[in-house]
């Protein structure tokens, strides 16, 4: 039996927020490089989206498909 003063939905949201915060902290503390970084994410409705970040410029975007990710990368880099 679990006794809790925090409703499950709030607990889940807080847990996910702390997980994201830890992942971001860990990534920037130990894995920093100048390459474009791409994460596949899922929103609370189950929809998949992509988060793209360019550490050289500080630009970022939330995109809906891999094709959009490739286009974004190509528009920010001149190969």
Separation of alpha carbons 26 and 32, rounded Å:
9
Cα dihedral 27, 24, 59, 66, rounded to 10, equals: 80
What digits encode the pLDDT tens for the residues 47-65? 999 999 988 888 999 999 9
What distance lies between CA 53 and its chain's CA centroid?
9
* Nearest alpha-carbon partner for 18 in 30, 10, 6, 29: 10
**pLDDT per position as a tens digit, 6-55:** 788 887 888 888 888 888 777 776 666 778 899 999 888 999 999 999 88
Entry pTM: 0.56
Beta-carbon contacts of 64 under 8 Å, excluding residues fewer than 6 positions away, are 49, 50
């Amino acid at each position: 039996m679990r006794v809790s003063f925090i409703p499950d939905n709030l607990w889940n949201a807080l847990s996910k927020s702390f997980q994201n915060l830890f992942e971001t902290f860990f990534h920037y503390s130990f894995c920093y490089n100048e390459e474009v970084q791409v994460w596949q994410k899922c929103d609370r409705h189950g929809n998949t989206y992509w988060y793209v970040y360019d550490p050289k410029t500080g630009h970022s975007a939330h995109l809906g498909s891999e094709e959009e990710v490739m286009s974004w990368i190509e528009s920010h880099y001149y190969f």
